[in-house]
């Protein structure tokens, strides 16, 4: 009989419960101990014969645990627990996007030093095999673009707003009622969750460390159902996108950012609906591929965690196998291409006074800053005399658009700049 691989599991929330459920009947593994916050909370799982502790460091120090599975999330105490476990020679499987995004390079270096490995397929895109594809599937390629819908909450809200002509606030409320958005939805709707995920994906695609706090971020709270409707009329759907590509005219810098985008209707990403995720990758040899599926949830995420556990276990018997999974470490962080220097097409919605010549004034301001307009459409006037004007620009540098908008903000005819969205081109 083969010896079982012994596991310690840190965290028994949604994902942890799924992991334990998938592993229970697998004769290859033995869960030695689980670290949980509250040992007296009733659990839906039978946990007899499993050591329970409220001190996760006990797993990191446990002499009979070969692999630490971290599904607790957050930085404190996961970061210190994992460092301790690595130093004690344990392999790591984690679903922790924030930890890998903020401390990945340091942890990988520590793992290399201790000849152990860190797998984190579950950190992005639930059970969709994104990480392994970027790590090992596309090595023959220079990556030209990674663009992902990697947050189910915002995609659910935007899909709801489109299908049912709902406001952002109503769609958010329904997402919360359906369990797809947290009581405090800030991390999702303001794009912080996507920042962690695109940081991980782009650090693998471009093999550079990335400082997450330098990533430009715009949330979806300003988007109205009118924007979604107008985008549709122009042939686009609005999606929350994490984007990474080499900087234009500066391949050394990485153009990585998180914001809603108008995605052309025929683009593969446009048809991703509800809580599904998808990642679109353009490689120099492979061309354009897309990986699609449920991006979160108990069992999709547990599928990735347990897949990692099985993959490590199948290699455990090999001497020095961790070398094979060594992550290339570059210590200096990658230069991030400034958002002002990026080139995009833009969708701009403005509220103006309904006075003659207002479109001429706008056109003049954009023209002065070299912003070439593709279309200008006035969308009705409300009872207070406010006209909604929607503009689509041609490709232009962000700073030119921002300069034009600064000038327009100061014009007497302008009431408000409603929203500025970029177009995926």
Cβ closest to its own copies, residue 212 vs residue 290: 290
How far is the CA of 192 from the CAs of 198, 209, 242, 323, in angstroms?
A: 10, 18, 10, 33
Cis ω for the linkage preceding 77 (within 30 of 0): yes
Among 49, 139, 331, 383, binds its own copies (CB under 8 A): 139
H/E element, 346: strand 343-353
Residue 152 as a binder of its own copies (CB under 8 A): the answer is no
Strand 373-381, strand 118-119: pairing: unpaired
Cβ closest to its own copies, residue 50 vs residue 289: 289
- Site map (CB under 8 A) of its own copies, residues 117-136, x = contact: ----x----xxxx--xx--x
How far is the CA of 159 from the CAs of 146, 153, 235, 237, in angstroms?
A: 22, 10, 16, 9
H/E element, 388: strand 386-393
Residue 197 annotated as catalytic: yes
Residue 425 as a binder of its own copies (CB under 8 A): the answer is no
CB-based contact 51:32 (threshold 8 Å): yes
Q: Which of 112, 37, 41, 90 is nearest to 328 (CA)?
A: 112
Size of the site for its own copies (CB under 8 A): 50
CB-based contact 92:119 (threshold 8 Å): yes
Cβ closest to its own copies, residue 100 vs residue 302: 302
Q: What angle do CA 375, 381, 384 make, to 5 degrees?
A: 140
Rounded to whole angstroms, how far apart are CA atoms 325 and 114? Answer: 13
Residue 188 tokens read as 């999702």
Site residues (CB under 8 A) for its own copies, limited to 279-308? 283-294, 297, 299-300, 302-307
Cβ closest to its own copies, residue 37 vs residue 265: 265
Among 321, 399, 402, 417, binds its own copies (CB under 8 A): 321
Residue 352 as a binder of its own copies (CB under 8 A): the answer is no
| Stretch of 46-54, 250-258, 309-317, 345-353 contacting its own copies, by CB under 8 A | 309-317
Cβ closest to its own copies, residue 309 vs residue 401: 309
CB-based contact 133:291 (threshold 8 Å): yes
Among 224, 271, 386, 407, binds its own copies (CB under 8 A): 271
Exactly one of 97, 197, 214, 282 is catalytic; name it: 197
Q: Which residues bind its own copies (CB under 8 A)?
A: 18, 22, 121, 126-129, 132-133, 136-141, 268, 271, 283-294, 297, 299-300, 302-307, 309-311, 314-315, 317-321, 323-324
Which residues participate in catalysis according to the annotation? 197
């Amino acid at each position: 009989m083969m010896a079982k691989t012994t596991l310690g599991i840190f965290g028994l929330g949604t994902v942890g419960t799924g992991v334990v459920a998938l592993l229970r009947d697998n004769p290859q593994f033995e869960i030695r101990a689980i670290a949980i916050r509250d040992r007296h909370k009733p659990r839906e799982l039978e946990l007899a014969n499993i050591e329970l502790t409220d001190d996760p460091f006990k797993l990191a120090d446990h002499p009979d645990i070969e692999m630490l599975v971290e599904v607790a999330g957050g930085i404190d105490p996961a970061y210190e627990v994992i460092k301790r476990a690595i130093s004690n020679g344990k392999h790591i499987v984690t679903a922790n996007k924030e930890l890998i995004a903020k401390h990945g390079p340091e942890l990988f270096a520590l793992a290399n030093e201790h000849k152990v490995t860190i797998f984190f397929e579950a950190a992005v895109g639930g059970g969709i095999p994104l990480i392994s594809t970027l790590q090992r599937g596309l090595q023959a390629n220079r990556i030209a673009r990674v663009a992902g819908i990697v947050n189910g909450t915002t995609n659910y809200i935007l899909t709801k707003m489109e299908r049912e002509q709902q406001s952002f606030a109503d769609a958010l409320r329904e997402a919360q009622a359906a369990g797809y958005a947290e009581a405090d939805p800030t991390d999702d709707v303001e794009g912080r969750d996507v920042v962690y995920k695109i940081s991980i994906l782009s650090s693998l695609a471009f093999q550079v460390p990335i400082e997450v706090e330098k990533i430009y971020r715009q949330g979806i709270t300003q988007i109205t159902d009118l924007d979604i409707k107008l985008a549709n009329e122009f042939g686009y759907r609005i999606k929350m996108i994490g984007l990474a590509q080499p900087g234009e005219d500066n391949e050394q810098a990485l153009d990585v950012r998180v914001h809603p985008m108008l995605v052309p209707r025929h683009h593969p990403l446009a048809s991703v609906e509800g809580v599904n995720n998808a990642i679109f990758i353009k490689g120099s040899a492979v061309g354009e591929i897309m990986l699609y599926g449920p991006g979160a949830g108990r069992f999709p995420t547990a599928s990735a965690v347990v897949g990692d556990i099985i993959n490590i276990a199948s290699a455990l018997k090999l001497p020095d196998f961790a070398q094979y999974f060594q992550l290339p470490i570059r210590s200096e962080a990658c230069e991030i291409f400034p958002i002002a220097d990026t080139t995009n097409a833009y969708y701009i919605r403005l509220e103006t006074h309904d006075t003659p010549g207002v479109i001429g004034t706008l056109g003049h301001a954009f023209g002065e800053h070299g912003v070439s307009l593709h279309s200008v459409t006035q969308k009705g006037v409300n009872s207070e005399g406010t006209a909604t004007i929607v503009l689509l620009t041609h490709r232009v540098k962000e700073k030119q658009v921002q300069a034009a908008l600064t000038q327009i903000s100061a014009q007497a005819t302008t009431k408000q700049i409603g929203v500025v969205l970029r177009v995926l081109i």
